[in-house]
C-alpha cells in the first residue's frame, strides 16, 4: 500500500506565549499543497519489526529519528501484534524548509498503518498520536485548510479556497533551526487574529497577515528576505515565509506568466492550488 504525503504552507504564524511545558502557544492557518513525497509499506514475516529504505533527496541525521520509523514504533507500543513491515520513503519535499514534509510523512504513516492493519483508530486518536511525533503532525491527519491554535493541534476547518491562484515556492537550501527561531522570538498577542484576516480579500493580506519568524530569520539571512521582495516585484498578491523557514511562497493570479532567475541551487516550484 502506498500513500503520497503532501506539504503545507502557513498563511500567517503568530507566536503568542511560552508555556510552562516549554512549548509555545501559537496561531496559524495551515493550507495543504500538492507537492508530495511517497511512502510504501509492505507486510513481512521478518524478525525485525521494521526495515526502512529511502530514495530521492538525501535525509540527514540519525535514521532512528525519522518520523516514519517513530510513527511505526509509537503504534507498535500500543498494538504489539502489529506485523513487521518493509517501509520505503521517496523524498521529494525539501527538508528543514518550513513545508512540514517530515511531519507529513510521519502522520501519513500513522494513517496508512491504521488503514492497512484495521487498527480502528478514530481521527482524534490519530491526532493524539501525531502530536507525540511533532507539533505540525496533527494537521496532516486532517489535511484540510485549518485555523490552528495551542501547539497547532487544536484545529478548526475553514473553507478558504485558493484554486483561483497559483503558488511559487522558492527554497534557498538554507536550513533554519526551529529551536533557534523560537529562541529569537518575543511572543506577543496580535491585535487582530489570523482567523479574521484570512477571511478578508487576499489583497489585504500583505499589510496584515504576518509570520513572526520572518523578523529574526530575515535579520540573519538577508538572501531569504530578498526572495520575498522579488516575489512582490514579480506581481505576487501575497508573499511570506512558511513556518520557521526558509521557504518563501508567493500567491499569483493563475493566468500570470512568471519570469524569474533564482540561483541554480535553489529549489523552485510552481504549484497549481
Active site residues: 8, 136
Question: What is the Cα–Cα distance from 187 to 219, expressed in whole angstroms?
Answer: 17
Question: What is the Cα–Cα distance from 230 to 218, expressed in whole angstroms?
Answer: 14
Greatest extent of the chain over all pairs of C-alpha atoms, in Å: 58
Question: What is the Cα–Cα distance from 142 to 130, expressed in whole angstroms?
Answer: 11
C-alpha cell at 85: 513491515
Question: What is the Cα–Cα distance from 28 to 146, expressed in whole angstroms?
Answer: 8
3-state secondary structure of 214: helix
Query: Which regions of 82-138 does DSSP assign to beta strands (E)?
Result: 84-91
The 10 Å Cβ neighbour count of residue 71 is 26
Closest CA to 106 of 146, 144, 74, 58: 74
Q: Is the peptide bond before 202 cis (omega within 30 degrees of 0)?
A: no
H/E run at residue 155: strand 154-157
CB 201 within 8 A of CB 19: no
C-alpha cell at 213: 519568524
3-state secondary structure of 266: coil
Amino acid at each position: 500500500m502506498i500513500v503520497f504525503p503532501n506539504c503545507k504552507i502557513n498563511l500567517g504564524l503568530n507566536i503568542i506565549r511560552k508555556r510552562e511545558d516549554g512549548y509555545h502557544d501559537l496561531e496559524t492557518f495551515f493550507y495543504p499543497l500538492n507537492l508530495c513525497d511517497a511512502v510504501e509499506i509492505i507486510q513481512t514475516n521478518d524478525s525485525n519489526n521494521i526495515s526502512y529504505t529511502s530514495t530521492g533527496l538525501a535525509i540527514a541525521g540519525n535514521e532512528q529519528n525519522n518520523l516514519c520509523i517513530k510513527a511505526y514504533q509509537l503504534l507498535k507500543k500500543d498494538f504489539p501484534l502489529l506485523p513487521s513491515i518493509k517501509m520505503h520513503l521517496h523524498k521529494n519535499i525539501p527538508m528543514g524548509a518550513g513545508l512540514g514534509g517530515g511531519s507529513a510523512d510521519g502522520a501519513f504513516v500513522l494513517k496508512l498503518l491504521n488503514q492497512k492493519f484495521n487498527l480502528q483508530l478514530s481521527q482524534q486518536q490519530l491526532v493524539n498520536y501525531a502530536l507525540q511525533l511533532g507539533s505540525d503532525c496533527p494537521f496532516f491527519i486532517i489535511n484540510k485548510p485549518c485555523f490552528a491554535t495551542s501547539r497547532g493541534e487544536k484545529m478548526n476547518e475553514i473553507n478558504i479556497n485558493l484554486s483561483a491562484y497559483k503558488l511559487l515556492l522558492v527554497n534557498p537550501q538554507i536550513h533554519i533551526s526551529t529551536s533557534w527561531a523560537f529562541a529569537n522570538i518575543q511572543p506577543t498577542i496580535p491585535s487582530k487574529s489570523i482567523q479574521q484576516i484570512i477571511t478578508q480579500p487576499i489583497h489585504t493580506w500583505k499589510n496584515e497577515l504576518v509570520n513572526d519568524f520572518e523578523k529574526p530569520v530575515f535579520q540573519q539571512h538577508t538572501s531569504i528576505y530578498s526572495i520575498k521582495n522579488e516575489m512582490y516585484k514579480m506581481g505576487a498578491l501575497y508573499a511570506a515565509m512558511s513556518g520557521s523557514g526558509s521557504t518563501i511562497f508567493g500567491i499569483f493570479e493563475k493566468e500570470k506568466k512568471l519570469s524569474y532567475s533564482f540561483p541554480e541551487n535553489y529549489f523552485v516550484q510552481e504549484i497549481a492550488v
